[in-house]
Amino acid sequence: MSLSRALTDEIEGERARPDAVTASGAGVPRSRTSRAARAVGTRLSGAWPALLGLAVLVGLWQLVVVLLKVNPTVLPSPARVASQGWMNRSALWQNTLPTIKETLIGIVAALGVSAVLSAAIDLSKPARRVVYPLLVASQSIPVLVIAPLFVIWFGFGLLPKVLVVILVTFFPTTVALLEGFNSTEPEASNLIRSMGGGRFKEFWMLRVPTALPFFFAGLRVAVSFAVMAAIFGEWVGASVGLGVYMELEKNALRTDLVFAAVVVTAALSMVLYGLTFLIQNATMPWYRHSRQIKRIK
């Protein structure tokens, strides 16, 4: 499952991070902007293989459709998807906006939920005993069942979709935060205590920053589910949105436009995923560099 894998990857990296770096790493750091620019450059150049792979795949697809004269209702060619998508861009865009809105509101709300839950669980033992099992149980509710109920309870508006997004995304971030809090070094906790700090100072000054890398790993998992969750929420019952659009075009046998909507969905997910890196680098400038040094070593 992608959740556990992504978490393990990040966490392993965190554990392996060296405590000390030898004098070679010492020196007054260069300006921040040049570093940021280099980082973006590295990331883009790293994307070339993926883009190349995608291009090959799309090319093959085009070739097969043209050579075998496949009926566009069954499988439209990429060129047709692109041209029809472009011709219907205003309809696509009008249905994309609500989906973006639901996704973003849902993610932000889910972050609030997981911040409160994880803090409560970390700071109080009773909360851990009572809330944690409920959290896990909440994840065994099939979204398939609960999403239509949300529509019955809250109608066709924004709320039921946001709820679906929250339900799907709050769990990875909560678990990641809890793991992060727990990865705090006991010696560091003792240090804060020896300085006269109580439970809350320790939490805020030590446990929260320690948990940040874990949090971003969880956030990436959450974000990659979020757009899909919003679309599912729309699909169950809505008047507008990519989910509705796909359903309508499917019924109209416009497979090409369904594909166009899928492309938009994938692009949305990737943009959100990329955003998590931008936010991570902005909030934890120390983290990326220390990991780069580790890689060099």
Partner 1 sequence: MTKSRATPSQFHGGAAIEVIDVSKTFQRRGEHLAVLDRISLEAAAGEFISIIGPSGCGKSTLFNILAGLESADGGKVEVNGAVATGASEHFAYKPQKDLLFPWRRVLDNATLGLEVQGMKKKDARQLVEPLIEKFGLTGFEHCYPYELSGGMRQRVALLRTVVQGRQIVLLDEPFGALDYLTRTDLQLWLSSMWEQFHWTVVLVTHDVPEALLLSDRVYVLGNRPASVCCVLDVDLPRPRGLECIGTPRFAELEEVLLTNLRDPERANRSSSIGSAHLIGDGRVDG
Under the rule (CB under 8 A), what is the footprint of partner 1?
A: 17, 19-23, 25-29, 185, 187-188, 190-197, 201, 205-206, 209, 212, 284-287, 289-290, 293
Structure tokens at 136: 């896990």
Structure tokens at 119: 């803090």
With respect to partner 1, which residue has the nearer C-beta, 29 or 126? Answer: 29
Least Cβ distance, residue 10 to partner 1 (angstroms): 15
Least Cβ distance, residue 271 to partner 1 (angstroms): 27
Backbone angles phi, psi at 161, to 5 degrees: -70, -45
The CB density around residue 33, as the number of other CB atoms within 10 Å, is 8
Least Cβ distance, residue 31 to partner 1 (angstroms): 12
With respect to partner 1, which residue has the nearer C-beta, 101 or 289? Answer: 289
Structure tokens at 262: 């899928």
With respect to partner 1, which residue has the nearer C-beta, 86 or 286? Answer: 286
Structure tokens at 147: 């999403």
Structure tokens at 87: 């011709």
With respect to partner 1, which residue has the nearer C-beta, 13 or 25? Answer: 25
Least Cβ distance, residue 43 to partner 1 (angstroms): 20
Residues 104 and 275 sit within 8 Å (Cβ to Cβ): no
With respect to partner 1, which residue has the nearer C-beta, 51 or 191? Answer: 191
Least Cβ distance, residue 297 to partner 1 (angstroms): 11
d(CA 101, CA 67): 41
With respect to partner 1, which residue has the nearer C-beta, 20 or 67? Answer: 20
d(CA 153, CA 148): 9
With respect to partner 1, which residue has the nearer C-beta, 213 or 233? Answer: 213
d(CA 295, CA 109): 36
Angstrom CA distances, 173 to 109, 112, 205, 214, stand at 12, 10, 20, 8
Least Cβ distance, residue 277 to partner 1 (angstroms): 17
Least Cβ distance, residue 4 to partner 1 (angstroms): 25
**C-alpha dihedral (52, 53, 57, 58), degrees to nearest 10:** -30
DSSP state of 72: T
